[in-house]
Structure 1
Amino acid sequence: MDPLVLGAIVAFATIFVLFSGVSVALGLLIVSAGFLIIFDGMRSLELMPEILFGKLDNFALLSIPMFIIMGAAIASTRAGADLYEALERWLTRVPGGLVVSNLGACALFSAMSGSSPATCAAIGKMGIPEMRKRGYPDAVAAGSIAAGGTLGILIPPSVTMIVYGIATETSIGRLFLAGVFPGLLLVSLFMAWSLYSTWRSGDAAVLSSGSYTWREKFEILPRVLPFVAIILGVLYAMYGGIATPSETAAVGALLCLVIAMVIYKLWHPKDLWVVLRDSTKESVMILFIIAAAGVFSYMLSSLFITQAIAEWIGTLDVNRWVLMGAVNIFLLIAGFFLPPVAVILMAAPILLPIITTAGFDPIWFAVVLTINMEIGLISPPVGLNLYVINGIAPDISLKTILRGSLPFVACMVIAIILLCIFPGIATWLPDAVMGSTI
């Protein structure tokens, strides 16, 4: 059978299995085993355990549970509420300052937790009721938090970037650095839209009501600065050559647990057990998907599907930006239905040879891919962040939340366009800190 035709059959079979309701990892294993048995016979199953566990035999994978523990420790405390309150006190006089402070809190909390749902939940519980009380429309209040939460998979340290680095054998340190300026760009675009929207509504005077003394502004900072210091310390240790990403993640997780226990009194064994239990569940889920995706990639390669697709793309007489546009559309559609980790593990090994052959930087492409995944987090039918916000404010309909998040989707599209025009936004910092790879 022609490998391209077989590839189409595998794609439809994978979509059908995943839509049946089984977990992503189990679905990938079912599809992989089925096609390997059909075309290679039962003997091919003997290799599956070796491939499955071999994919997990990677020291860099240790950073995933460590960063997840780091985020869980922060998310289990009032750090999100304190972060929101600190920014709200400093930005209260800015027109639309409450939305801006929520977005700033989302950006900082994302850097501390690396989780989009956790960011939405932590900031949204405080920010949405306060914005509604101040007179902000429900769509703006809910949409801004849903969009701000997506920053968790772009701003370092990002578990999504770690997964991409492992799947494509790309430097995780470079990927973290590549997400810094694009993350700041997205935050700036989000804030610019919020300020414009507030100015256009003509309610700036009402929306910026409230004032705090200098003492009140400064007294909240000691509860927030230790976590920010940990993030800066982790990044310094990583890029200063002091430790590997896995080692810095372990130290960061330990320090976050200690600070959560000292500052927020998270010392009860029951509370600590919840942090470790939830972190273990999420870590096992991600690692299982990574292992299953390794088997899936082996199946595609052994049936020459990956090679045939790359060769077919290479023979197309199209402009490389047309190709990149098609890749972005594919990623958007995939992100509408699958979680970011699953899309990266399934698509990155196939797309990377195509991207590099077309002359695109794989580090730059990681950022573009991640922003596409961010759009998927606030787009139906899956749109995880939409459901998180709906759980926080059940009286706000999903339609209203979606309507409020659409302007931020447009901001993400603008960010992708800017990255295409000025790729240095993503590549300059990694090259400046770690040296050019060219």
Structure 2
Amino acid sequence: MNEITIGLVLLGILFALLASGFWVAFTLIAVSIAGMVMLGNDNFGLLYSTSTWGAVSDWSLAALPLFIWMGEILFRTRLSKDLFEGLTPWLSSVPGRLLHVNILSCGIFAAVSGSSAATAATIGKMTLPELKRQGYDDKMAIATLAGSGTLGLLIPPSIILIVYGVAAEVSIGRLFMAGALPGLMLVLMFMGYTAYWSAKHSEGVAKQVTRYSWSEKFSSLLRLLPVSALVFFIIGSIYAGLTTPTEAAAFGVLGSLALAVGSRSLTMSSFIDSLMGAVKTSCMIIFILAGAAFLTMAMGFIGLPRMLAENIAVLNLSPYMLLFLLTIMFVILGCFLDGISVVVLTTSVVLPMVIEAGIDPLWFGIYIVLVVEMSQITPPVGFNLFVIQSLTGRNILFVAKAALPFFFLLVSAVLIVTVFPEIVTWLPTSMSGG
């Protein structure tokens, strides 16, 4: 069999197993073994052990379980309530008022949890009942949460950026820097659209306006101080070069434990729950990474990445056309897989094409996360849609339709960073001195 035939057969096996509900990690391993067998190579046991050990023993991955544990600890504190009560007085006179609390709370929580699902679930539990009680439009309340919940993928420390950095051999610290400005840009875009919508649909915003004195506004900032200090320390220490991402993650765990103790929300039960949640999530991600590493090795033996890169080169596609086609592919994959699976499944195949086209792998990391963010609110399997559906009890199509404007805002963000790549590259370049 030639490379194209093997590739088509493996693609069929891949989608058949995924459609049957087979675990992603097992699917990757099964496809890899099938490819090796088709090549007549029966030494896949040794190859699996060597490839996976190299993939999961990377020291950069030590930051992964630590950041996940930090998010799990904070998920069980009163942090979301403090964010809501701390931001509310400052947003009471902004068009859209408390709808912006969803966006800013998600932006701040994303910076300490690194998880899109944890961000949407934690903030949604606090804000959605309050917004409904005060008479805000249900559809817009869900939309702001669905859209801004995806910020957990981009705003550092991001779990998916760590995974991409390991898979693509790109500095995780530089990726964190590169994600900061696009993350801020998205927050401003979401708030701008929400203010515009609120001005056009005043009936969807609570009529009763609570007036706050300046003393009340400034005293509310005390509620934001603990988490703001944690965010500033984690991100600031990495940007300043004082700590590596792994060291910052370790300090972040200590800081989150201190916040949990200080808020009296840390019990032995919540501590064990946070630890077990971190272990389960970390094992799932590392298992997928191990399967992806084996698949990468199998694809290398078959020669598929080289063949694809050569065929793309023959087509003489412009970088913009290549990115357009990759965007369609990533969004389609995101309808069936979670974001981390999309990244580890595709990076080894598409990266040679991307480098051949002269695209910076650092910039491409932020691009792929933005596109994966889009897939988080794309039916039928947008992960954030399921999280919000479980919170609201609404039909998944209702949630998807509500989130549609924010999907298009994410599309706009992809276009903006494509036309102006300096938004991504300026900060890591300036911080590294060149």
- The correspondence of residues 374-385 of structure 1 with structure 2, limited to 5 A, is 374-385=373-384
Over 3 Å counting, the alpha-carbon distance change for 1:187 and 1:299 in structure 2 is same
Residue 327 of structure 1 pairs with residue 336 of structure 2: no
Report the secondary structure of 1:359's partner residue. Answer: coil
- The correspondence of residues 22-421 of structure 1 with structure 2, limited to 5 A, is 22-203=22-203, 206-207=206-207, 209-262=209-262, 264-394=263-393, 396-421=394-419
Superposition deviation, residue 428 in structure 1: 0.6
Q: Which amino acid in structure 2 is aligned with residue 331 of structure 1?
A: F
Superposition deviation, residue 283 in structure 1: 0.7
Over 3 Å counting, the alpha-carbon distance change for 1:137 and 1:266 in structure 2 is closer
Q: Aligned partners of 1:325 and 1:269: how far apart in 2?
A: 50
Match of 1:423 in 2: 421
Q: Is the 8 A contact 1:92 1:210 kept in 2?
A: yes
Unaligned runs of 5+ in 2: none
Q: Deviations over 1:294-316 (max 9, x none)?
A: 00111111111111111111111
Number of residues paired by the alignment?
Answer: 434
Q: Which amino acid in structure 1 is aligned with residue 337 of structure 2?
A: L
Report the secondary structure of 1:224's partner residue. Answer: helix
Q: Is the 8 A contact 2:107 2:148 kept in 1?
A: yes
Q: Aligned partners of 1:338 and 1:207: how far apart in 2?
A: 41
Over 3 Å counting, the alpha-carbon distance change for 1:205 and 1:328 in structure 2 is closer
Superposition deviation, residue 207 in structure 1: 4.6
Q: Aligned partners of 1:295 and 1:346: how far apart in 2?
A: 11
Q: Aligned partners of 1:435 and 1:13: how far apart in 2?
A: 47
Q: Aligned partners of 1:432 and 1:56: how far apart in 2?
A: 31
Superposition deviation, residue 20 in structure 1: 1.2
Q: Is the 8 A contact 1:96 1:207 kept in 2?
A: no
Q: Aligned partners of 2:242 and 2:34: how far apart in 1?
A: 46
Further displaced range: 29-38 or 384-393: 29-38
Q: Is the 8 A contact 2:32 2:295 kept in 1?
A: yes
Q: Is the 8 A contact 1:17 1:31 kept in 2?
A: no
Superposition deviation, residue 349 in structure 1: 1.6
Q: Aligned partners of 2:261 and 2:279: how far apart in 1?
A: 19
Q: Aligned partners of 1:208 and 1:358: how far apart in 2?
A: 55
Unaligned runs of 5+ in 1: none
Q: Aligned partners of 1:160 and 1:47: how far apart in 2?
A: 26
Q: Is the 8 A contact 1:116 1:385 kept in 2?
A: yes
Report the secondary structure of 1:379's partner residue. Answer: coil
Q: Is the 8 A contact 2:103 2:148 kept in 1?
A: yes
Q: Aligned partners of 2:98 and 2:280: how far apart in 1?
A: 34
Q: Is the 8 A contact 2:327 2:371 kept in 1?
A: yes
Superposition deviation, residue 240 in structure 1: 2.2
Q: Aligned partners of 1:392 and 1:291: how far apart in 2?
A: 33
Q: What is the RMSD computed on CA atoms of the aligned residues?
A: 1.6
Superposition deviation, residue 85 in structure 1: 2.1
Percent sequence identity is: 36
Q: Which amino acid in structure 2 is aligned with residue 47 of structure 1?
A: L
Further displaced range: 4-13 or 301-310: 4-13
Residue 433 of structure 1 pairs with residue 431 of structure 2: yes
Q: Deviations over 1:203-240 (max 9, x none)?
A: 48745622233343333333331222122112222232
Q: Which amino acid in structure 1 is aligned with residue 147 of structure 2?
A: A
Q: Aligned partners of 2:311 and 2:212: how far apart in 1?
A: 63
Q: Aligned partners of 1:383 and 1:186: how far apart in 2?
A: 19
Q: Is the 8 A contact 2:136 2:205 kept in 1?
A: no
Q: Is the 8 A contact 2:47 2:294 kept in 1?
A: no
Further displaced range: 237-246 or 415-424: 237-246
Q: Which amino acid in structure 1 is aligned with residue 144 of structure 2?
A: S
Q: Is the 8 A contact 2:135 2:205 kept in 1?
A: no
Q: Which amino acid in structure 1 is aligned with residue 168 of structure 2?
A: T
Q: Is the 8 A contact 1:175 1:363 kept in 2?
A: yes
Q: Is the 8 A contact 1:92 1:208 kept in 2?
A: no
Q: Which amino acid in structure 2 is aligned with residue 12 of structure 1?
A: G
Q: Is the 8 A contact 2:379 2:397 kept in 1?
A: no
Q: Is the 8 A contact 1:114 1:155 kept in 2?
A: yes
Q: Is the 8 A contact 1:97 1:208 kept in 2?
A: no
Query: What is the TM-score with the length of structure 2 in the denominator?
Result: 0.96
Q: Which amino acid in structure 2 is aligned with residue 327 of structure 1?
A: L
Q: Aligned partners of 1:194 and 1:426: how far apart in 2?
A: 24
Q: Is the 8 A contact 1:98 1:208 kept in 2?
A: no
Further displaced range: 8-17 or 144-153: 8-17
Q: Is the 8 A contact 1:266 1:272 kept in 2?
A: no
Query: What is the TM-score with the length of structure 1 in the denominator?
Result: 0.95
Superposition deviation, residue 422 in structure 1: 0.6
Further displaced range: 206-215 or 422-431: 206-215
Q: Which amino acid in structure 1 is aligned with residue 141 of structure 2?
A: A
Q: Deviations over 1:234-260 (max 9, x none)?
A: 222223222221111111111211221
Over 3 Å counting, the alpha-carbon distance change for 1:244 and 1:205 in structure 2 is closer
Q: Which amino acid in structure 2 is aligned with residue 221 of structure 1?
A: L
Q: Deviations over 1:340-390 (max 9, x none)?
A: 111111111211111121121111111111111111111111111111111
Over 3 Å counting, the alpha-carbon distance change for 1:206 and 1:428 in structure 2 is same
Report the secondary structure of 1:97's partner residue. Answer: coil
Report the secondary structure of 2:281's partner residue. Answer: helix
